[in-house]
A = this chain, B = another copy of it.
């Protein structure tokens, strides 16, 4: 018999209790399991692994939707409205985030649940801020693992929010089925500030805040972006990225965007590109996990840590260059391999 959760302190809950709770859709245990996999303690690591493995075994047919855009574009409001639409359609929605700046700025996205007031109270929604971490790779890995847990908990749509800066978008793109770029209509300079890379990654661009006096400009932006996207070669899956307009504050255009995502998923499932993309993502995930775990393995090895500390002291005493110290340590560690 599996013991009840209240018998345990937070991190002492056994893996099987966490898994059972996740399978039942217990939000509190899902949250605790995610906290566990965000932990850096070696024993937590082992336990988190066993939870993830079990969660991976549970079949699901989730849709993973990545949402990016610069600060101020209205990501939170968009997710609030889209999330509420989805739960009204009977779907369970999880909202996760990848924010590489959060380690410095202490959580700039999703940190404040009050920004998604109605969604955070929705029984069929689960909101989790970006994990903290020393590297984007670490943050991304934890979010990817959280996706698995949320799917095992029965969430049909996983929304992954990221800030519109640098490599975090690439990281999120590598873990979702559909990647949506939110933009504002500006004063004719829409295309200037946009990076080539993000245009290539986006499956759709949504011009947000298309309301009031912005409406006409938004329509122009749709035309302009559509033209710009036609300059790119068609994607491998035959999909031509769409450009749409919406207003989170007036709740217009959001339903159309979701229908487009469903259309995309249906077409790609039929053509086999949906599974193909997930397989490719899995292979990349595997390669990244191997690298992360290799590193972790050595950093938990006492002889390695001691040799490393010795080198650190020598560097501090100006007795050795950092480069040569690294070489010596590595030569020592790998000489028997």
The distance from the CB of A232 to the nearest CB of chain B, in whole angstroms, is 13
Is the Cβ of B334 less than 8 Å from the Cβ of A297? Answer: yes
Given A56-B321, A337-B337, 19 more A-B residue pairs with CB atoms under 8 Å apart are: A52-B323, A53-B321, A56-B324, A57-B321, A100-B166, A104-B170, A104-B197, A104-B198, A105-B195, A148-B323, A166-B166, A166-B168, A167-B167, A282-B315, A282-B322, A285-B322, A297-B330, A297-B337, A301-B337
A121 close to B (CB within 8 Å): no
Oligomeric state, in copies: 2
A258 on the B face (CB < 8 A): no
A140 to B315, CA, bound (A): 20
What is the distance, in angstroms, from A83's C-beta to the closest C-beta of chain B? 26
Mark each residue of chain A from 280 to 310: 1 if its CB lies under 8 Å from any CB of chain B, else 0: 0011011101110111011001000000100
- Nearest residue, chain B, Cβ from A290: B326
Contact with B along A27-60 (1 / 0, CB 8 A): 0000000000000000000000100110011000
How far, in angstroms, from A316 to B298 measured CA to CA in the complex? 29
Contact of A290 among B101, B285, B290, B330 (CB under 8 A): B330
Question: 25 pairs across A/B with beta carbons < 8 Å?
Answer: A49-B327, A53-B324, A56-B321, A100-B166, A101-B195, A104-B195, A104-B197, A105-B195, A136-B166, A145-B323, A165-B165, A166-B166, A279-B315, A282-B315, A282-B322, A286-B315, A286-B323, A287-B312, A290-B308, A290-B326, A290-B329, A291-B295, A293-B330, A294-B298, A336-B336
Do B283 and A316 have beta carbons less than 8 Å apart? yes
Decide if the interface of chain A is mainly helix, strand, loop or mixed.
Answer: helix
User: What's the interface size class on A, roughly?
Assistant: 35 or more
Closest to A168 in B: B166
In the assembled complex, how far is the CB of residue A107 from the closest CB belonging to chain B, in whole angstroms?
11
| Chain B residues within 8 Å of A137, by CB | 135
**CB of A284, distance to nearest CB on chain B (Å):** 8
Is A230 part of the binding interface, using a Cβ–Cβ cutoff of 8 Å?
A: no
Chain A contacts with B in 117-157, Cβ cutoff 8 A: 135-137, 145, 148
